[in-house]
Structure 1
Amino acid sequence: MTTTNRTSHPIALRDATVTDPFWASRQELVRTQVIPYQWNALNDNVPGAAPSYCMHNFKAAAAQNAEHHKEGKAFVPPKYTFRGFEALPDDPAHPDPDKFYGFVFQDTDFSKWIEAVGYSLTHHPDADLEATADTAIDIVCAAQLDNGYLDTYYILNGMDRHFTNLKDHHELYCFGHLTEGAIAYYQATGKRKLLDAACRFADYIDFRFGTADGKLHGYPGHEIAEMALVKLAETTGEQRYADLAEYFVRQRGQQPLYFELEDRRRAHEGGRDYEPREQNYAYYQADKPITEQTEALGHAVRAAYFYAGAADVARLTGDPDLLASCEQLWRNIVDRKIYITGGIGATHMGEAFSFDYDLPNDTAYSESLAWTPPPIYRCTYRVDESSPIV
């Protein structure tokens, strides 16, 4: 893994201090009120709020693992059962302790929370919050399978179908957020338990995906694994994580389109989780390789994550074609598809980019995750070593 001093790099969070009264007060509000509230929400302890079921799912998966490891007791893993993109209990007051509930990406509620905890602990050590986080991490890690896989949707609903619906079922997205959270917590506390779990999951993904015969030639449906893998490589020094990120970036949109093959297979199988409809693979930034893409299209958050990950790979590899593609997509966004606030994704229909210069105020999407991605700046070259970075 090589980098060059001709690219910019994000500074360490511990080296940045917010002193502006407005933002400092918001930061303090998050630390003292939002993070504790979110922990209650993750455990379905907020009266009147819709349950998350996040920690419920991890506890159920951990209990299933414990049952599997009981000496002398045969364990029969469940066969996959599709229960909808969101599964809810028949009796909300009495959810089944052994079943998965929530959206297919529900695990990321924990991952985003632990990332926020890591960021908070970086500047504000808090023994009680750290103890709570360690307890949560113990539960999450207890849910991890022996092979490293860690996604409660398939662990509880049936591992025989994992990695069969990459386009829609968010497994690699969940991995990406878990990794980002694990790194943030490790950088704040020096504790490796969750980071090691993320590494084991990454190892399993690396074992399953690639261009070699017998491997899956797919890539994330909802991107973020790309940028997370680069960060994991830089945190651990493991080159193969960067190589896996590069594979995901370069494989996306190659012919034959993996998502199209996946949809055909699922249609042939006729499972309940397949909905016949016209497919738009550009919505997933997967209709052509990134080096052939000239316009930001599709789901805005997916796109921002993907372009950021591609920029990271361009930074690591020094590939001029990939860098040029990142810059072209960047210019398309900032010249034609960005709000003055920095928000992107002009339409709530599909949470997506609209056509050039269509930036309505009243129906703007611009989710907080859909904004011009700072990692693009990592590919901005200095004119010389004394020149400021643009």
Structure 2
Amino acid sequence: MADDAHAGDGEFVSNDIARASSVRSRPLPLRDATVGQGFWGDEQELVRTQVLPFQWCALNDNVPGAAPSYCMHNFRAAAAQNRRRTAARSQGDRFVPPVYTDRGFNVLPDDPERPDPDRFYGFVFQDTDFSKWIEAVGYSLAHHPDAELEARADAAIDIVCAAQQENGYLDTYYILNGMDRHFTNLKDHHELYCMGHLIEGAVAYYEGTGKTRLLHAAQGFADYVASVFGTEPGRLRGYPGHEIAEMALVRLYEVTNERRYLDLAAYFVDERGRAPLYFEVEDRTRAKREGATYVPNDNQPMPYAYYQAHEPVVDQREAVGHAVRAGYLYSGVADVARLTENERLADTVRALWRNIVDRKLYVTGGVGATAFGEAYSYDYDLPNDLAYSETCAAIALVFFARRMLELEPKSEYADVMELALYNTVLAGMAMDGKSFFYVNPLEVRTEAVRSHDARFLHIKDVRQKWFGCACCPPNLARLVESVQEYAYTLADDGGTLFTHLYIDGMAVVHVLSKDEDDEDVALRLEVESGLPWNGHVRAVVHVDEGDGGADDYGDGHDGKISVPFIFAFRLPAWAGDQIEVAACTTVPAEAQGRVNRRVRDGYLYLAGTWRDGDVFEFDFPMPVMMLEANLRVSEDAGKVAFVRGPVVYCAEECDNGSRLHCLHVDAARVGERAENVTVEPFDFKAGAEALDGKGTGGVEPVSRCMVRLRVPAWRDEVRDAKPLYSRWHPPVRRRVEAVLIPYFAWANRGENEMRVFLDIS
């Protein structure tokens, strides 16, 4: 990668930057990165004030018209069963636990109005709705204390912990249906997935509040799992059917420093896909026990590819199977590779990353093209109107991208992370925070949605209040509330702060003193960002002196403390050539003589000595880009999509009329002069009446400042009386302006058509 010239002869030499650009990094502690005002501050406030209370009602089945969750119902039932066991023992009576009966993957009450208080209902993974909610609550409380919310969370934790078994096991599906068969269907019954989400929620709540009750419960579950699984004689050599335990165990290791959790994560990664395939053995054993015929799992490219268990992880080079599972697995593999310095695993995730972003990534940052298995399809198969592109899959891609950044600071990972965040992830939630998309197509025709055609059953043209399988809403909430953890990472040696996302807020780094008797010095980077609507970013360095540590660094000529450090700022790909973009960065004149600068792998490294009040200013170009897909993507031949900065744009019927397939971009005029596309700030007004008594499609009135595009276009004149087929004649067209809005904002004004890729004339 080419380097730009040094801007000064600071204390740091080029070797320091070369070393910084090859180090591994980690997120800042939860309280050391904050979100201020601006775009993401608004999103977090929406989650905090609207989404979290709404989702708590949903977890308790108190949202009229929404599908019941049964999540907290199940925890209460399991806790009540524990109390009955304890009471029986205290009275010398024998407690008879439930004997396992397979009640299916999704259990519903015979009478929805009167569910049995002692029975399990919902999906086998229903417990995770709580875990993701409590994770979002933990992040929120870290920066916005709320006594009422914390009390509600503590009460919920009491219920959950009361359901835990004496050996540490905590999964209400088997607790209520019969523990005699637990861990006999790892492939489908999600016990280790539930453990993973419990760990993630517990860690976040501990970091946000300092409270340990849920953390200890999660440790108890993890310790029990560690005693059951492994390569030692008598242990199960299984691994999760739905991955997330791998990355969760790494988080548990990092917060407790207990090596056994990292070892368990590494075992799950290493054992997966090795012969004999554990899931095949499990399937054969279960079929024999139930007197059924074993049916091979061959409905994917390879047996068990849906579960990413078709071959050893270290040998995998293509993203296959269920897209959410895949993203969680790849995230965990990257974690294990980083912490165990396993270069073979690092090469694996690099190859998987390349396969995704080069051949299987939607322009909106979505992944998982096919509804069949909610899965990755074959290379370049990226349909627009049939796209699955699950919200959770985009969230998993964000997780994966950040972990790749922790492995190696290359801006392409942050580019994709940002793309997914601003587009598919945010599209998953209405602007009032009270309805959600599970899937995120790039083209919607209302007649297709209403037709009940089996091909389109997964497609919705308005968001839903809740889902029986409600993985996406709380997943989205936990990501938005923790977005600051994706904006920065700190080099393992503590000497470089990487800025990956430009978000209003603050990052704090504690620079170690050279003298153990002195206190550390805190460097605070205060960021003001115009993203995603303009490319102006201002970053101010603040130096907070300790009682003794300040003298360790010496004074500048003006009496200010000078602290040696490296700041690395991402140069977004959408802004253009890296060297040219780096030239748009302004460092104050008084700092020029003590700062070196270099561009490497898409980051601008500024190395030198820093003083309180030093300011960087970035003016990233934000041109409107008209993108075409690789010609191997047959769906997009002859079409273009519009992107400005990190935001992908789309056309909606309410701005452009129906039959969006008759709208053609005037590509020649767009390409002729940038001024031919109007970039227009405007006040987007969301709001829609519900389509039914369940509140489907209803959006409360909300206004947000956004940017829309006005693009030169043509529209075909449609003659309804024309026969189905007729001799070709030149089309009759009239000149129009296509109005494009951010993709994440679509479907906030009622049901209507939408398109991302538009035909060109």
What TM-score do you get using the length of structure 2 for normalisation?
0.49
CA contact (8 A) 1:301 1:369 kept: yes
**Greater CA drift, 11-20 or 285-294:** 11-20
Which has a greater percent of strand? 2
2:113 counterpart letter in structure 1:
A
Q: Are the counterparts in 1 of residues 30 and 208 from structure 2 also a CA contact under 8 Å?
A: no
Q: CA deviation at 1:115?
A: 0.7
Looking at structure 2, the residues matched to 365 and 355 of structure 1 have their Cα atoms a distance apart, in angstroms, of 14
Report how far residue 20 of structure 1 moved.
Answer: 5.6
Return the alpha-carbon distance in structure 1 between the equivalents of residues 66 and 346 of structure 2.
45
**Post-superposition offset of 1:389:** 6.9
Choose which of 356, 376, 388 in structure 1 pairs with 2:404: 376
Q: How many Å separate the matches in 1 of 2:314 and 2:67?
A: 42
TM-score, reference length from structure 1: 0.94
Separation of aligned partners in 1, 2:144 and 2:363: 33
Equivalent of 1:171 in 191, 199, 216: 191
Calculate percent identity across the aligned residue pairs. 66
Q: Note if 1:14 corresponds to 2:31.
A: yes
Matched, 1:332 2:380: no
User: Aligned-pair distance for 1:320?
Assistant: 1.1
Q: How does 1:49-128 map to 2 (within 5 A)?
A: 49-70=66-87, 71=90, 72-128=92-148
For the residues of structure 1 that align with 2:65 and 2:73, how far apart are their CA atoms? 18
Give, in whole Å, the separation in 1 of the partners of 2:219 and 2:30: 22
- In 1, Cα distance between the equivalents of 2:404 and 2:54? 33
Distance 2:262 2:58 in 1: 34
Q: Structure 2 residue aligned with 1:25, among 36, 42, 49?
A: 42
Q: Residue deviations 1:330-359, cap 9 Å, x none? A: 111111111222221111221111111122
Instruction: Give the deviation of 1:381 after TM superposition.
Output: 5.9
Q: Name the aligned partner's letter for residue 82 of structure 2.
A: N
Kindly report the root-mean-square deviation, in angstroms, between the aligned alpha carbons of the 2 structures: 2.0
Q: Per-residue CA shift, 1:181-227, capped at 9, x if unaligned?
A: 00010000000000000000000000000001100000000000000
- Taking structure 1 as reference, are residues 20 and 275 closer, same or farther at Cα in structure 2, changes over 3 Å only? farther
Matches of 1:276 and 1:138, distance apart in 2: 42
- d(CA) in 2 for partners of 1:310, 1:271: 37
Q: Which residue of 2 aligns with 1:287?
A: 310
Q: More displaced, 72-81 or 247-256?
A: 72-81
Give the gaps of 5 or more residues in structure 2. Answer: 1-21, 411-494, 497-565, 569-599, 603-761
Q: Does the 8 Å CA contact 1:8/1:389 hold for their aligned counterparts?
A: no
Task: Indicate if the aligned counterparts of 2:319 and 2:355 stay in contact, CA closer than 8 A.
Answer: yes
Name the SS of the counterpart of 1:17 in structure 2. strand
For residues 159-308 of structure 1, the aligned pairs below 5 Å read 159-270=179-290, 276=295, 278-279=297-298, 280-308=303-331
Q: Distance in 2 between matches of 1:300 and 1:129?
A: 33
Whether 2:340 is the aligned partner of 1:320: answer no
Q: Which runs of 5+ in 1 are unaligned?
A: none
Q: Give 2:81's aligned amino acid.
A: Q
The SS at the match of 2:188 is coil
- Once the two structures are TM-superposed, the CA of residue 49 in structure 1 deviates from its matched residue by 1.4
Q: Give the match for residue 173 of structure 2.
A: 153
| Whole-Å separation in 2 of the counterparts to 1:278 and 1:138 | 40
CA–CA distance in structure 1, aligned partners of residues 65 and 93 of structure 2 = 41
Q: 1: CA distance between counterparts of 2:295 and 2:68?
A: 30
Looking at structure 1, the residues matched to 296 and 65 of structure 2 have their Cα atoms a distance apart, in angstroms, of 36
- Superposition deviation, residue 271 in structure 1: 6.5
Comparing 296-305 and 373-382, the one that deviates more: 373-382
Structure 1 stretch displaced more, 130-139 or 322-331: 322-331
Q: How far is the alpha carbon of 1:15 from its aligned partner?
A: 2.7
Separation (CA, whole Å) in 2 of partners of 1:216 and 1:345: 31
SS of aligned partner of 1:377: helix
Shift in alpha-carbon separation, 1:271–1:173, aligned structure 2, 3 A = farther
The answer to whether the Cα contact below 8 Å between 2:190 and 2:241 also exists between their aligned partners in 1 is yes
Instruction: Indicate how the Cα distance of structure 1 residues 278 and 253 shifts in structure 2: closer, same or farther if over 3 A, else same.
Output: closer
Question: Is the 1:381–1:389 Cα contact (8 Å) retained in structure 2?
Answer: yes
Q: Secondary structure at the match of 2:367?
A: coil
Matched position secondary structure for 2:392: coil
Q: Which has the larger radius of gyration?
A: 2
